[in-house]
Chains A and B, each alone.
Chain A
């Protein structure tokens, strides 16, 4: 059989030696690169990414070098794309759902420690005004104490100084001839100045305290042997707490920022028990279900009726009607959604203008929850019915005509035809497509993000939650819009949606009986 001939690769025992050497050299080089990347990522504590690169590059090396995996060479790129950009992000998201990853717990513990140790506080009252005088490519720094005494440094450059302290000695008060740097140039040097420490002759060590002055400063926190931090100003000891990802004082007070730790099921528990999250969550979930169901029903109803009309033999000009009717589908969705956003605008929108002229009303489409939801359904029906119409038109072709002939003999009305012949005939092949449409609309992020952005807001919610938010846009807002940027909570909700969507598509696969 051909398949056997194809699956056993047509190799190449007579392949020249050089080619084989070249091949193995290439494989070796790729593996070395993979190893380097993996180790580098592992060293940065990015274990998930290290594993990903190892798997992707390692399997590539195997598949493209082993004759046994010949067939897999053809599918490798698309599978790799799917693994890297769909499956890996999915697993990573599920993982984040079990951590407290958020704006307040963004960094690793080492980075947090580094940040805290770099904080300083002013030990004395006096501040020393400073001026920088450029000389060639170097600077001379002059300091002036509140008492009026002056100090000056030898010419220095920041790069030469590295991290050693700059020594200044007392001088006469007369200023040098050249002009000091303006504040703009000082701001440009801010990072260098921040890391500069200045030693006054006679003891005190100064650090940058503002844009114009230096002051005696000291590190705010000292690191102790047991890993805890001591506040050098107040003497309070902060111990690292790995359960919450913060340095914690004796009274439970915490130091910002915190680091990311695994917190188990806490995010899920929070959704279930915290009433200020649970309330909006349930409301949004119910609306999401209602939205997806109603969208499917409305688009199907409009689409089916139109498809039936367009099937009618007596009707002329079908091509024209068809073209006009699918126009909403042809216009890019992101443009038509924004067009509707403008047309529904309460003050300048054309829809309210028409309504006011006809009925004298000016509905508040964006601040009244019920109206906002109505608007979303109207817009989505507009966007979605052509797709249903096209589907139904295809399926209607397959219904035997004599069924309608028979029903006409029996005196059936068009409605009888629709409900007793057409629907039962097409519902079976239509079902998987309806479920797919349901799943798509369940996650119709673009519509909500561009049309209402979730507004109007649900009152009393601690997370950003709107009455028109779908679960996806709600998760997006928790992660990216809220000042708290609670990635962990967002990922937990995302995981729940993954499970739901996954089971929907499994059902769909069963229903559509796809043969592979």
Chain B
């Protein structure tokens, strides 16, 4: 398009800018609104985008600090948001680390070693990854009920169970790492093996140090996915202090107990760090996602 330009191009550029800004305005309206609502007084207040009587009531409650209103009554925090955030992060970090550990070794085998049924295993992993866990929740519940009979810290209502269940979904990550391994030249490992290194040593001391960038990407990708996991955590976790953020957040908006303002503050507080992590890493995340699936 560089060579041939219609005469009206300047107006079209301005029109495009205007159109895009309007579109962004509409798109960002919900997000701006939530930030604004979190500073309003009370849970039912309505008003403009800039609150007329800004109040830190909801933020104080979201941070777990009881709030004293102007008339002297004290509001108690309705839910342990920070605890939920901590639970979410704890579960996501541990399971991402485990996923990273296990999928790296698998990816190594798929990329470098030769064994029976390799193609079949790889393909069926991709297919099985598509089945939504929501549909087998009854079975998963029964499974963890059984496991809990023998190992209590992996039973129902434990974080161990959620972490363990997340190990089912590694196919996507294995594919991502495998692709990266295949792009690395084999000759270094070959040389090491000629010099007497074992397969494991070649993997551990030569390939792994070369792959740090992709491992970081997969870790972040798994972290984001685990933070957002909802169905499994919603049936495995019962106690209010055990919930993850994804499961707990909806409790603010029950018909009988509608805490809109409190929710807004909690949502901004807990959503912001995750959003920033995502934005910071979006280039790699998108690359990883296009390899095999969609945001879950």
Contacts and interface: CB of A to CB of B under 8 A. Distances in A.
B109 A75 contact: yes
Given A340-B30, A504-B130, A81 B102 contact: yes
A166 interface: no
Nearest first, the 6 closest Cβ-Cβ pairs linking A and B are: A85-B168, A89-B136, A74-B109, A89-B139, A81-B167, A92-B139
Contacts of A336: 30-31, 271
A507 B267 CA distance: 39
A490 B228 CA distance: 25
A449 B235 CA distance: 13
A268 B28 CA distance: 46
B103 interface: yes
A391 B33 contact: no
A72 interface: yes
Contact of A71 (B9, B115, B131, B167): B115
Interface residues of B, number: 104
A271 interface: no
Contact of B24 (A4, A321, A338): A321
A74 B123 CA distance: 17
B103 A78 contact: yes
A332 B227 contact: yes
A314 interface: yes
Contact of B33 (A72, A75, A350, A408): A350
A110 to B, nearest CB: 17
Contacts of B4: 405, 408-409
A3 B114 contact: yes
A46 B150 CA distance: 14
B134 A476 contact: yes
B261 to A, nearest CB: 10
A75 B28 contact: no
Contacts of A340: 30
A161 interface: no
Interface in B18-69: 20, 23-24, 27-28, 30-31, 33-34, 37, 44, 46
Contacts of A473: 134
A29 interface: no
B270 interface: yes
A2 B189 contact: yes
Contacts of A309: 16, 20
26 contacts: A4-B114, A6-B199, A7-B114, A37-B150, A70-B199, A71-B113, A71-B115, A75-B106, A78-B103, A82-B168, A93-B135, A93-B139, A314-B12, A328-B27, A329-B295, A331-B31, A331-B275, A333-B228, A440-B293, A443-B132, A443-B134, A475-B134, A494-B135, A494-B136, A505-B126, A516-B119
A96 B139 contact: yes
Contacts of A2: 186, 189-190, 193
Residue among A72, A325, A334, A345 with most chain B CB within 10 A: A334
Tell me the dominant secondary structure on chain A's binding face: helix
A360 B51 CA distance: 23
A325 B130 contact: no
Interface string A439-481: 1100101100110000000000000000000001101100110
Contacts of B129: 86
A509 B123 contact: yes
Contacts of B296: 440
Interface in B102-148: 102-103, 105-106, 108-110, 112-115, 118-119, 121-123, 125-140, 142-143, 146
Interface string A485-510: 00100110010011001101110010
B253 A323 contact: no
A252 interface: no
Contacts of B252: 338
A235 to B, nearest CB: 39
A28 interface: no
A34 to B, nearest CB: 12
Contacts of B164: 85
Interface stretch (B72-80, B169-177, B208-216): B169-177
Nearest to A472: B134
Residue among B138, B286, B296 with most chain A CB within 10 A: B138
B160 to A, nearest CB: 13
B128 A75 contact: no
Residue among A41, A70, A333, A339 with most chain B CB within 10 A: A339
A96 B28 CA distance: 45
B250 A321 contact: no
Interface in A311-354: 312-315, 317, 321, 323-336, 338-343, 345, 348, 350, 353
Interface string B231-253: 10011000000000110011011
B13 A338 contact: no
A343 B33 CA distance: 9
B258 to A, nearest CB: 8
B113 A74 contact: yes
A339 B1 contact: no
A299 to B, nearest CB: 10
A334 B143 contact: no
B195 to A, nearest CB: 12
